Structure 1
Amino acid sequence: MTPETLATPETPRTQSRRSLVSLDDLTDAELRHLARRGAEFAAGRAGAGRPLSGLIAGAYFAKTSTRTRTAFSAGALRLGAQVIAYGPGDLQTNTGETVQDTGRVFAGMLDVLVARTTGDPAELRGWAEDGRLAVVNAMTADEHPTQALTDLATLLGRFGRIEGLRVLYLGEGNNSAAALALALARFPGARLELRTPPGYGLAADVLARATAHAARCGAEVTERHDLDDLGEPFDAVYTTRWQTTGTSKPDPDWRTLFEPFRVTADLWKHSPDAVLLHDLPAHRGEEVTAEVLDGPASLAFRQAENKMHSAMAVLEWSCAARDIEPRG
């Protein structure tokens, strides 16, 4: 090897990768591709091959995770990648190293980093600055984008479409609700009705972004703080754990506000053909009764399994440069 062939510190090790920090990072075509591809993996129609063979995926989880961590780890292994796992105390950011410096180190050794952090998405964007490293948001305080992709794949698997579906969301306007709103708003004819306890709705900026997408795409996203006037039957009823992972509520009487928003069998009198979606973990008897969660309408555990299929779609898109419709 001659001196001219030696790589300098600025020589890219590989092509630029695609990152997913927010659903708003995706074009409409990319969002549809990832939803469809997740459904294809779930149905066994994704084709053979190990497109991530020879690549290394990092999995950094600063918060607890069962489904998302397992989904991305198993998905990466199934696609041929190797996985390095990091816990909350493992990185030198704990001792003062900058996010950008950590990102440059990761980019020199990893191909993709799947991360669940304790703060806002700025940390993830800092890691992605180098351009060589794909960074995937496995949940931040404001948004859970890969959960929404799982939800879309699950709806596609059940109904064969997302366009025109009517979805009722009951519970806190948390990061899963935010991602669901930002995703469904981009499918023509889709209608998402969020019923959230007073004071626990979607963040104003998220609701504004979702309604702007809906206006552009011919969808509908609305939010109310009661259960009156449910209107036409729903295709799906969605709920999440009342106490979002890693958070607490300052109001000691918050449960009183949440009680009316519990998902019970009575909702199926209004929407007898609806399916139940739940991002899990579930607390039976709180946000949903056991009768519903474990009943015939529930897709919650199929939805959980689909996290791996959607993770595979995201990893493939981030690292394997699978052709999709053009960006723009």
Structure 2
Amino acid sequence: MHFLTVDDLTPTELDSVLTSARDLKGDYAGTPLADRSLAMLFEKASTRTRVSFEVGMTKLGGHAVFLGKEDIQLGRGEPVKDTARALACYADAVMARVDDHETLETLAAYSSIPVVNGLSDEAHPVQTLADLLTVEEVVGDDASVAWVGDGNNVAASFTVGAAMRGHDVTVATPAEYALDDGVFDRASDYPGTVTATTDPEEAVAGADVVYTDVWVSMGDEDEREQRLDALQPYQVNEELLAGTDAKVMHCLPAHRGEEITEDVLEGERSLVWRQAENRMHGQNGLLVQLV
């Protein structure tokens, strides 16, 4: 089994992963992945993805190998399918953080070991595991959540994952940066209700958790000024949150003063550091189930 999008898991499998994550978070006394190895391919830089997977594998009794673009032949023109088959000779799973989702699909097509999406232009499902773990720890199984800002890869994965868990989701984005219709189609297969709007105030009204992310993702730098102009009304600040008891999430890194203000990010509403910690636990729950 591969994990390229959150709905590569069935709802039952997702429940098993989150249960495993909670169990591991409570007790890392065992070594369920002793003598197992994870190959980590990075085309995009990261703090949380690298450290959470590397430390996580150590806690599980296994070993992680970091492979940047310049460390392997993939960065020198080797076909992805050859890299996939070579890594399967040595490792027990591959985590890849890539520019193009198609790279992951090719890795998975030619790999005899599990391939995990550590981020692509289309999806960030390991982040969603941390997000769901956090929401359900703090609010519970019937949380109402709102996404406010850019309809990016994190938003796509979170919307589908939250719907799979039965959460009600409201997605507020500018029309020009909305989620693809296919994301809503996928989410509609699950029990959670998903609503789209262009009104951030409508989205946060009644929400237990408000989630945002950067407005200018890696690869979008050429659009920076037009994105800032379009997304400014979607800033998560105390004015937007006034009159609500909503907690706030952000997958990091954050651009303080753009998509979120300093006082909200560092304030009592913030679940950001719990989210960051849960990256490791969610991923470990996944790895134990896959490997």
Q: How do 1:3-14 and structure 2 match up within 5 A? A: none
Structure 1 position 175 matched with structure 2 position 147: no
Give distance in 2, aligned partners of 1:69 and 1:34. Answer: 20
Identity percentage of aligned residues = 34
2:168 aligns with 191
Question: Which letter does structure 2 place at the counterpart of 1:146?
Answer: V
Q: Is the CA contact 1:107–1:133 (under 8 Å) kept in the aligned structure 2? A: yes
Please list the CA deviations of residues 154-192 of structure 1 after superposition, one character each: whole Å capped at 9, or x if unmatched.
Answer: 112212x33x2111111100010000011011123x211
Contact 1:167/1:237 (8 A) holds in 2: yes
Please, which of 35, 40, 44 is the counterpart of residue 18 of structure 2? 35
C-alpha RMSD over aligned residues: 1.8
Say if 2:85 and 2:111, in contact at 8 Å, map to a contact too.
no
Alignment of 1:308-327 (within 5 A): 308-319=280-291
| Structure 2 CA distance for aligned equivalents of residues 177 and 288 of structure 1 | 16
In the alignment, which residue of structure 2 is the partner of 1:220?
193
Secondary structure at the aligned position of 2:221 is classed as coil
Are the aligned partners of 2:41 and 2:66 in contact in 1 as well (CA < 8 Å)?
yes
1:213 Cα offset (Å): 2.1
Partner of 2:231: 258
CA gap 1:131/1:59 in 2 versus in 1, 3 angstroms: closer
> One-letter code of the match for 1:206?
V
The one-letter amino acid of 2:272's match is: A
Alpha-carbon distance in structure 1 between the residues aligned to 2:173 and 2:207: 17
CA 1:88 to 1:47, structure 2 compared with 1: closer, same or farther past 3 Å?
closer
Q: CA separation in 2, counterparts of 1:301 and 1:58?
A: 26
Please state how far the C-alpha of 1:232 moved relative to its aligned partner. 4.7
Q: In the alignment, what sits opposite 1:241?
A: 214
Task: Report deviation, 1:228.
Answer: 4.9
How many Å apart are 1:134 and its aligned residue? 1.4
> Which residue, out of 19, 26, 30, partners 2:9?
26
Contact 1:233/1:270 (CA < 8 Å) preserved in 2? no
Which residue in the other structure is 2:80 paired with?
99
- Quote the Cα distance in structure 1 between the aligned partners of 2:221 and 2:184: 22
Shift of 1:131: 5.1
CA deviation string 1:20-73 (max 9, x = no partner): 11112111101112223223333x1x4631011111111111101001111111
Which of 236, 251, 259 does residue 279 from structure 1 map onto?
251
Report the Cα offset of residue 79 of structure 1.
0.5
Residue equivalent to 1:89: 70
Unmatched runs of 5 consecutive residues or more in structure 2: none
In structure 1, how many angstroms separate the alpha carbons of the residues matched to 2:28 and 2:62?
17
The answer on whether the counterparts of 1:39 and 1:156 sit within 8 Å (CA) in structure 2 is no
- Please report how far the alpha carbon of residue 152 of structure 1 lies from its aligned counterpart in structure 2 after TM superposition: 0.5
Q: Structure 1: where are the runs of 5+ without partners?
A: 1-17, 320-328
- Which residue of structure 2 aligns with residue 115 of structure 1? 96
Task: From the superposition, tell whether residues 60 and 229 of structure 1 become closer, same or farther in structure 2 (CA, over 3 Å).
Answer: closer
More helix by share: 2
Report if the CA contact (8 A) 1:182-1:213 is conserved: no
Q: Which residue among 34, 55, 59 is the counterpart of 1:74?
A: 55
Matching residue within 153, 156, 177 for 1:200: 177
CA–CA separation in structure 2 for the residues paired with 1:228 and 1:55: 48
Cα gap change, 1:65 to 1:29, in 2 (>3 Å): same
Q: Which has the larger radius of gyration?
A: 1
SS of the residue corresponding to residue 195 of structure 2 reads strand
Report the TM-score when normalising by structure 1: 0.84
Q: Deviations over 1:79-125 (max 9, x none)?
A: 011121111222323333222221111111111111101112x3223
Amino acid at match of 1:29: T
Letter in 2 for 1:244: S
Aligned partner of 2:156: which letter?
A: A
Normalized against structure 2, the TM-score is what?
0.94
**1:252-289, Cα deviation, whole Å (9 max, x unpaired):** 432121110001112332312x2111101011111111
Structure-1 separation of matches of 2:15 and 2:170 = 21
Q: Distance in 1 between matches of 2:165 and 2:93?
A: 28
Question: Aligned equivalents of 1:185 and 1:278: distance in 2?
Answer: 19
Equivalent residue for 1:135, pick from 115, 119, 126: 115
